[in-house]
Amino acid sequence: MKSVLLGLVTALAAPVSSTFVVQCYSRLFDQRIDPIVNPGVAATHVHTVSGGNGFSATTDFAKARASKCSTCNIYQDNSMYWSPKLYFKAQNGSFLSVPIIGDNGGGNLGGMAIYYLTRGGPNNDKLRAFPPGFRMLAGDSNKRHSTDDFAGRAVTHKCVGVDGPDTKHLPKTKCDTIRVQVVFPSCWDGKNVDSTNHKSHVSYPKDGNFDGGRCPSTHPVHLATLFYEVYYDTKGFKNMWYGDKQPFVFANGDGTGYGYHGDFLNGWDEKALQKALDTCKDGVQNCEAKVFGNMRSQGEAQACKLPTMVSEQVNGVLPALPGCNPVTYGPAAAPSSSSCAAPKLSLKVNAQYLGYVDVTKNKGWKYIGCGKDVAGSRTLSSAQTSGNTMTVEKCIDFCKSKGTKYAGLEYSGECYCGNNVSADRAPVSGSVGNCLMKCSGNANQVCGGAGAISLYQTCSGGACTNSVKRKSRRLAALELGQANAVPRAEVLEAAV
């Protein structure tokens, strides 16, 4: 029996006063997509992305609000939260992706916590909800040295479990877990929902601290102070250190930690956020439940996934950081990414990124999507087999021999057969689900996930079309705002 492990939850700190927390239990994906800094094209570096599944290279407020699910727990919030992904630079020059606590070998299961500090500063200013269309950045991707201004203090790293203050740079000793945080500016000019550098419409306070204090007259409207917290699981790399530098690098080529940053795109129901800002003050217990009511479960948040949009490998062992991101250690700022051409992206999406195998022709079965499963009450219960040589074809052959209508693959090596998929276990429209694990017998195939089942159905004479398909290049180009261009980023969709 396999169960979903609740890694992230235990890692999250208990909320402090004047705070509410959006628990992003999981991620939509890790990709080179950034609708704020690189709209419509492949972004310069890989981000880990949490939030509403309306996320794309051209997301705006309306698309965020129209999300059908989110990887975070508050139904009223379809905001998107992203930051650069962490890698380990090995002695031989390869880059290894670093899991986030909660991934548990099951793909992008882990997530991040988003704190909303409801601090109005010494004058106890009324806080305003983020307006529709609002977006902002915190941190500076090219920064490679320490500064003591509020922007410099707003990015911190911590070797979890080891005494000592948070540091502005990545830990210089071996850690089981590295926590990274970035605090956003909380003062707004009251007029512009964005600005050319995505920063100057907001400001850190003029005094006090970067996460408190009074707003300057140029930016008089006090907002919530947002901060992101991500826990990276660095245990597995402790015996791989070498040389005289700490070996972790962020996806933007930052070997110091000073260049860590966060991107925020508002997708809130404005009234609900305003109510939370007014309610979640000192001494109010369980304010999230009071304000937001029923919340999304961890399983539901983890089932909200987006298919790959940029056809390249971002996990596992990589010869270089995706994009063009030479690793730099400062103190000089990193060169602007435009001075270095990123490798051309392939337009052919490798089958493993699509999450299914096309067996319509050789088997006469079709992929119907990624459903849910629960140990103890199986989605498909007529027959089962498992092993360390499982493939999609093997499972289908097994279920064929049992005469069932459906075949499902789960947790890398498990195969289930049955004749019925109940509605509450069926693939969810608009979400590709959490089927991200490689098959035990073929690393280029996907065999479900934890509590997630890759479902195939016999065509038996009927139409034989997989329900996840590649968008036409033209549609993808339109979506990317490049009607006449060949898209640089490939867009896929779940057509269920």
Q: Phi/psi at 141 (nearest 5 deg)?
A: -60, -30
Residue 52 or 418: the one with the smaller Cβ distance to ligand NAG is: 418
List own/partner pairs for 336-342 with CB under 8 A and 24 or more apart.
336/142, 337/44, 337/45, 342/42, 342/44
Strands 29-31 and 47-51: antiparallel
Contact status, residue 85 vs residue 431, Cβ threshold 8 Å:
no
Smallest gap from Cβ 193 to ligand NAG, in A, equals 44
- Shorter beta-carbon distance to ligand NAG: residue 93 or 283: 93
Neighbours of 229 (CB within 10 A): 20
Query: Please, what is the minimum distance in Å from the beta carbon of residue 229 to ligand NAG?
Result: 28
Structure tokens at 280: 């979640």
H or E segment to which residue 248 belongs: strand 248-250
Q: How far is the CB of 455 from ligand NAG (least distance, A)?
A: 12
Our CB check for ligand NAG shows the closer of 301 and 407 to be 407
Q: Is 238 helix (H, G, I), strand (E, B) or coil?
A: helix
Tokens of 71: 């990887």
DSSP assignment string, 73-100: S-TTB--EEEEEPEEEE-TTS-EEEPPB
d(CA 173, CA 92): 20
Q: Between residues 16 and 240, which has the closer beta carbon with respect to ligand NAG?
A: 240
Which CB atom, from 44 or from 97, has the smaller least distance to ligand NAG?
A: 97
Q: Which of 66, 2, 9 is nearest to 297 (CA)?
A: 9
DSSP string, 397-446: HHHHHHT-SEEEEETTTEEEEES---GGGSPPTT--TT--PEETTEEEEE
Q: Are 203 and 113 in contact (CB under 8 A)?
A: no
Least Å distance between CB 237 and ligand NAG?
A: 9
Q: Contact 258/155 with Cβ under 8 angstroms?
A: yes
Q: What's the closest the beta carbon of residue 93 comes to ligand NAG, in angstroms?
A: 7
Residue pointed to by tokens 């339109």: 478
Q: What is the CA radius of gyration of the chain?
A: 23
The nearest distance, CB 421 to ligand NAG, in angstroms, is: 7
Tokens linked to 120: 């109005």
In contact, 380 and 421? CB cutoff 8 Å? yes
Name the residue nearer to ligand NAG (CB basis): 94 or 192.
Answer: 94
Token digits of residue 440: 């035990």
Q: For ligand NAG, give the closer residue by CB, 96 or 193.
A: 96
Residue closer to ligand NAG by CB (options 18, 457) is 457
Min separation Cβ 317 and ligand NAG, Å: 5
Give whichever of 317 and 485 is closer to ligand NAG, judged by the CB atom: 317
If the CB atoms of residues 90 and 383 are measured against ligand NAG, the closer one turns out to be 90
Please tell me what DSSP assigns to residue 496: -
Contact (CB, 8 A) for 300 and 425: no
The amino acid that residue 361 corresponds to is: K
457 membership: H or E segment, kind and range: strand 452-458
At its nearest, how many Å lie between ligand NAG and the CB of residue 240? 6
Question: Contact 409/453 with Cβ under 8 angstroms?
Answer: yes
Q: Which is nearer to ligand NAG, 90 or 333 (CB)?
A: 90
Least distance (Å) from ligand NAG to the CB of residue 379? 11
Residues that bind ligand NAG (CB under 6 A): 90, 92, 94, 240, 317, 420
Q: Among residues 17 and 420, whose Cβ is nearest to ligand NAG?
A: 420
Token pair for residue 146?
């320490």
Q: Give the strand pairing for 438-439 and 406-410.
A: unpaired
User: Which residue's CB is nearer to ligand NAG, number 94 or number 386?
Assistant: 94
Distances from the Cα of 302 to the Cα of 38, 80, 295, 375, 456, angstroms: 26, 15, 13, 16, 21
Dihedral, CA of residue 46, residue 51, residue 54 and residue 56, to nearest 10: -10
